[in-house]
Structure 1
Amino acid sequence: MSVDDLVLTPTGLRFAGRRFPCTIGRGGITANKREGDGATPVGIHRIAGMFYRPDRLRGAALPNWARPIRLGDLWSDDVGDPMYNRLVRAPHPFSHETMRRADPLYDLVMMTDWNWPEAVPGRGSAIFLHQWRRIGYPTAGCVAFAPADLMWIAARVQFGARLIVRDS
């Protein structure tokens, strides 16, 4: 392990010599991830992208590989969609999540390579690092943080950094 790794521990996420409180999926941690189970998958997942709301994060210290979330950006979560577990554009006839949300949860999103880019239908889509709804409130499988902590991590994380999730 390296200080560049993001390591999920029972007491939070360890990164760059600091520990950050975080929440995980309502289904806990699993070695057998399935679409809709609400679990955070065990494994070593690479940070494969970063998206942000330019209208809400003007002047934020983000890496040059961060990409703005545009109106009409969606994430496919439909196992029957040929574009399953990919960024797609509206209108999109399959089930999806809106990336440009009314709430602040996806104002800043770090995407992992979980089941991406070659997605296996049903293995689960979009394991993101994003803002939490509130402290202690579980996610649908992602890892969520306080807004200030998420921004601190995003300003320092390297593209391809490892998110390490171990079975407890």
Structure 2
Amino acid sequence: MDSPKSQPTWFQFLGFSLKSKQFQSNQTGLITVLFSFLYFFSLIPLSSAENSLVDSPHLNSEQILFITAKPGETTGYLDFYALTEGEWAPVLEKIPVHLGKSGLTRGEDKREGDGNTPAGIFPLKRILGKQKREIQNLEYTEIKKYHHWNDSSSSKNYNQLITHKEKGAVALWNSSIYDLLIVIEHNTKPAIPGLGSMIFLHPWNEDKPTSGCIGISKEILETIVLKLDGNKNPSILILSLE
């Protein structure tokens, strides 16, 4: 973590006051959200003038999904917090999730086919599903039989949603794990060949790891989708707890 002098700045910057009721609370969920915030940002060096991170859209998030797991583990937990009237409050807490078969890795170290789930902080902008839905201010695509996602590193459409069949493209219509999904914007804009593709938060009812996505019960995913609001700049923070 940074020097003691800088800590109050970070607490206030992230929406916590050292005198607030939230900071004084001993609730397990709050400890999770505080630890996740502070641990993540302690890894990012500050420059003079408090770093250019001040301008980052992630730091304007009023809804954050926290995915936490121990190093090497293929299971973890999801906590969903929202900023309401100046205070962070839990929406969902301690929800079990399945991760990639190789566990978590730093986002910049993620490679196609390595079985890792990329760690980092990513905006949540797009939701896809196989039925009509009322989505709050986020891009929504109703999946049809012609929708594919390309995970071939040699394709010009690598890690992109496309509306035609081509080599290396996965038909989203053909699998129940794509009945509903939230796109985790890892390596999407731009998509660099080989650095990982198709990283989603999607339904998962099997007691085994995923190929690199985050798997969760469909019922919980339905709740998350209903609660997310694009006007609140939602993000997902995926973090390995050392």
Residue 21 (structure 1) aligned with residue 80 (structure 2): no
2:63 aligned counterpart, secondary structure: coil
**Amino acid across the alignment from 1:100:** W
The residue number in structure 1 matching 2:67 is 8
Residue 53 (structure 1) aligned with residue 130 (structure 2): yes
For residue 3 of structure 1, report the CA deviation from its aligned partner: 6.1
The residue number in structure 1 matching 2:181 is 109
For residue 133 of structure 1, report the CA deviation from its aligned partner: 3.5
Trace 1:79-90 onto structure 2 (pairs within 5 A). 79-90=153-164
Residues 3, 15 of structure 1: 8 Å contact kept: no
**Amino acid across the alignment from 2:77:** G
The residue number in structure 1 matching 2:40 is none
Distance 1:26 1:96 in 2: 22
For residue 21 of structure 1, report the CA deviation from its aligned partner: 1.3
1:122 aligned counterpart, secondary structure: coil
Distance 1:63 1:51 in 2: 13
Residues 129, 141 of structure 2: 8 Å contact kept: yes
2:201 aligned counterpart, secondary structure: strand
**Amino acid across the alignment from 1:73:** H
Identity %: 29
Trace 1:91-130 onto structure 2 (pairs within 5 A). 91-92=165-166, 94-101=167-174, 103-130=175-202
- For residues 56-83 of structure 1, what are the alpha-carbon distances to aligned partners after superposition, in whole Å with 9 as ceiling and x for unaligned? xx6x554353220011100000000011
1:75 aligned counterpart, secondary structure: strand
TM-score (norm 2): 0.62
Distance 1:144 1:52 in 2: 15
Distance 1:35 1:163 in 2: 21
Higher relative contact order (CA 8 A, sep 6+): 1
What 5-or-longer segments of structure 2 have no aligned partner? 1-36, 38-60, 70-75, 82-89
- For residues 38-67 of structure 1, what are the alpha-carbon distances to aligned partners after superposition, in whole Å with 9 as ceiling and x for unaligned? 11001101112000001xxx6x55435322
For residue 117 of structure 1, report the CA deviation from its aligned partner: 2.0
RMSD: 1.8
The residue number in structure 2 matching 1:39 is 116
Structure possessing the higher radius of gyration over alpha carbons: 2
1:105 aligned counterpart, secondary structure: helix
Trace 1:127-166 onto structure 2 (pairs within 5 A). 127-134=199-206, 136-159=207-230, 160-166=233-239
2:115 aligned counterpart, secondary structure: coil
More helix by share: 2
- For residues 92-139 of structure 1, what are the alpha-carbon distances to aligned partners after superposition, in whole Å with 9 as ceiling and x for unaligned? 1x20211112x42111010121001211111000210100032x3211
Residues 43, 164 of structure 1: 8 Å contact kept: yes
What 5-or-longer segments of structure 1 have no aligned partner? none
Distance 2:104 2:62 in 1: 23
Distance 1:91 1:107 in 2: 19
**Number of matched residues?**
161
